[in-house]
């Protein structure tokens, strides 16, 4: 029974990918936007970040364009296969998007190619979020008010 369910789910995923690949550009953009917004709990996210709605929408737009265009992307002189980028963006959730917003808010260096920078930040976020928060906790706990001496 479990194998049957797994096979059915696999066929559904393949069917959705085929539908996506055969769709028009506008339909692919709508499908990608719908999936991303659902995955990140868009309504909850914008309600929690009322003053950052435009920023959130811009980040989503970059992800949607990247998925819909279906091409490999270049990040820091590395050509990343489209399948890897799409896979990462389709797995985005509320916490990862919140992490991106936080790290972008803390960035103070001049950015020359903003769209490329944002694309790199979005792509790398899922693979750096856990270490980022672990280091933040370590840093905070090393402060004297936590009882640990420098």
pLDDT in tens, 37-55: 999 999 999 999 999 999 9
pLDDT of 51 reads 94
Chain segment 8-23, per-residue pLDDT in tens: 555 545 555 556 676 7
Q: How many CB atoms lie within 10 A of CB 128?
A: 13
Are 29 and 68 in contact by the 8 Å Cβ rule? The answer is yes
Distances (CA, A) of 85 to 35, 52, 72: 15, 24, 8
């Amino acid at each position: 029974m479990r194998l049957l369910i797994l096979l059915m789910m696999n066929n559904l995923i393949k069917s959705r990918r085929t539908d996506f690949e055969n769709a028009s550009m506008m339909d692919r953009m709508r499908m990608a936007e719908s999936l991303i917004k659902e995955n990140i709990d868009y309504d909850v996210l914008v309600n929690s970040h009322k003053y950052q709605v435009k920023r959130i929408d811009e980040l989503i737009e970059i992800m949607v364009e990247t998925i819909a265009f279906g091409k490999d992307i270049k990040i820091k002189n590395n050509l990343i296969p489209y399948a890897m980028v799409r896979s990462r963006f389709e797995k985005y959730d509320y916490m990862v998007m919140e992490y991106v917003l936080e790290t972008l808010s803390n960035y103070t260096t001049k950015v020359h190619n903003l769209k490329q920078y944002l694309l790199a930040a979005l792509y790398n976020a899922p693979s750096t979020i856990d270490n980022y928060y672990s280091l933040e906790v370590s840093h905070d706990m090393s402060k004297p008010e936590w009882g640990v001496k420098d």
